[in-house]
Amino acid sequence: MANEEDDPVIQEIDVYLAKSLAEKLYLFQYPVRPASMTYDDIPHLSAKIKPKQQKVELEMAIDTLNPNYCRSKGEQIALNVDGACADETSTYSSKLMDKQTFCSSQTTSNTARYATALYRQGELHLTPLHGILQLRPSFSYLDKADAKHREREAANEAGDSSQDEAEEDVKQITVRFSRPESEQARQRRVQSYEFLQKKHAEEPWVHLHYYGMRDSRSEHERQYLLCQGSSGVENTELVKSPSEYLMMLMPPSPEEEKDKPVAPSNVLSMAQLRTLPLADQIKVLMKNVKVMPFANLMSLLGPSVDSVAVLRGIQKVAMLVQGNWVVKSDILYPKDSSSPHSGMPAEVLCRGRDFVMWKFTQSRWVVRKEVAAVTKLCAEDVKDFLEHMAVVRINKGWEFLLPYDLEFIKKHPDVVQRQHMLWSGIQAKLEKVYNLVKETMPKKPDGQSAPVGLVSGEQRVQTAKTKAQQNHAFLERELQRRKEQMRAATVLPSVQIKEEPLSEEEADGAELEAEEEEPMDTAPSTCLSTKLANGLPAGRAVGGDSLNGHPVPGCASNPVACELKAFVEATFQRQFVLTLSELKRLFNLHLAGLPPGHILFSGVSDRMLQDTVLAAGCKQILVPFPPQTAASPDEQKVFALWESGDMSDQHRQVLLEIFSKNYRVRRNLIQSRLTQECGEELSKQEVDKVLKDCCVSCGGMWYLKGTVQS
pLDDT in tens, 103-115: 888 777 777 788 9
Residue 164: per-residue pLDDT: 47
| Domain-ending residue, one of 434, 462, 490 | 434
State whether 208 and 337 are in the same domain: no
Cα-based distances in Å from 647 to 87, 603, 644: 74, 37, 9
Total of domains in the chain: 3
State whether 60 and 135 are in the same domain: yes
Helix (H) or strand (E) holding 399: strand 397-400
Residue 237: per-residue pLDDT: 52
φ, ψ for residue 643, nearest 5 deg: -135, 125
Q: Is position 334 within any domain?
A: yes
Alpha-carbon distance 222 to 211, whole Å?
12
State whether 213 and 292 are in the same domain: no
* Coil, strand or helix at 441: coil
Residue 36: per-residue pLDDT: 59
Which range, 205-209, 350-354, 589-593, has the best average confidence (pLDDT)? Answer: 350-354
State whether 108 and 223 are in the same domain: yes
State whether 285 and 205 are in the same domain: no
State whether 283 and 223 are in the same domain: no
Alpha-carbon distance 587 to 80, whole Å?
56
Q: What is the mean pLDDT of residues 480-497?
A: 54
Residue 199: per-residue pLDDT: 79
Question: What is the three-state SS of 314-379?
Answer: HHHHEEEECCEEEECHHHHCCCCCECCCCCCEHHHHHHHHHHHHHHHHHCCEECHHHHHHHHCCCH
Q: Residues, the chain, total?
A: 710
Other C-beta atoms within 10 Å of 395: how many? Answer: 10
State whether 570 and 689 are in the same domain: yes
State whether 567 and 430 are in the same domain: no
pLDDT tier at 175 (50, 70, 90 boundaries)? confident
Alpha-carbon distance 65 to 653, whole Å?
69
Helices (H) and strands (E) in the chain, counts: 27, 22
Alpha-carbon distance 510 to 548, whole Å?
7
Q: What is the mean pLDDT of residues 231-248?
A: 64
pLDDT in tens, 22-81: 888 888 887 766 665 666 666 667 788 887 777 888 788 887 888 888 988 888 888 887
Cα-based distances in Å from 389 to 396, 421, 442: 16, 21, 17
| Domain-ending residue, one of 418, 434, 450 | 434
State whether 280 and 419 are in the same domain: yes
pTM above 0.85, yes or no: no
Average pLDDT over all residues of the chain: 75
- Which has more pLDDT, 386 or 106? 386
Q: What secondary structure letter does DSSP report for 400? A: E
pLDDT tier at 328 (50, 70, 90 boundaries)? very high
Q: Between β-strands 397-400 and 390-393, what pairing exists: parallel, antiparallel or unpaired?
A: antiparallel
Residue 355: per-residue pLDDT: 92
pLDDT in tens, 557-590: 578 888 888 888 888 888 888 888 888 888 888 8
Q: What is the mean pLDDT of residues 681-697?
A: 83
Mean pLDDT check: name the lowest of 195-199, 502-506, 636-640. Answer: 502-506
Q: Which structural domain range is residue 142 located in?
A: 13-84+91-149+195-227
pLDDT tier at 354 (50, 70, 90 boundaries)? very high
Q: Is position 396 within any domain?
A: yes
State whether 307 and 209 are in the same domain: no
State whether 347 and 201 are in the same domain: no
Q: Is position 504 within any domain?
A: no
Alpha-carbon distance 292 to 629, whole Å?
54
Residue 493: per-residue pLDDT: 41
pLDDT in tens, 142-172: 777 777 777 777 777 665 554 544 455 567 7
Q: How far apart are the first and last CA of the chain?
A: 64
Q: Is position 513 within any domain?
A: no
Smallest CA-to-CA distance from 650 within 672, 677, 673 is with: 677
Alpha-carbon distance 42 to 62, whole Å?
8
Q: Is position 668 within any domain?
A: yes
Residue 222: per-residue pLDDT: 83
Residue 265: per-residue pLDDT: 43
With vertex at residue 638, the alpha carbon angle to CA 637 and CA 639, rounded to the nearest 5 degrees, is: 120
Q: Is position 175 within any domain?
A: no
Q: Is position 482 within any domain?
A: no
pLDDT tier at 544 (50, 70, 90 boundaries)? very low
State whether 216 and 97 are in the same domain: yes
pLDDT in tens, 179-192: 777 777 877 877 78
Smallest CA-to-CA distance from 586 within 573, 568, 611 is with: 568
Other C-beta atoms within 10 Å of 325: how many? Answer: 28
Smallest CA-to-CA distance from 326 within 270, 402, 273 is with: 402
Residue 457: per-residue pLDDT: 56
Q: What is the mean pLDDT of residues 340-345?
A: 84
Q: Is position 416 within any domain?
A: yes
* Coil, strand or helix at 238: helix
Helix (H) or strand (E) holding 88: none
Please enumerate, as own/partner, the contacts of 667-671 that have beta carbons within 8 Å and a separation of 24 or more: 667/691, 667/702, 670/702
pLDDT tier at 516 (50, 70, 90 boundaries)? very low
| Domain-ending residue, one of 404, 434, 464 | 434
φ, ψ for residue 275, nearest 5 deg: -80, -10
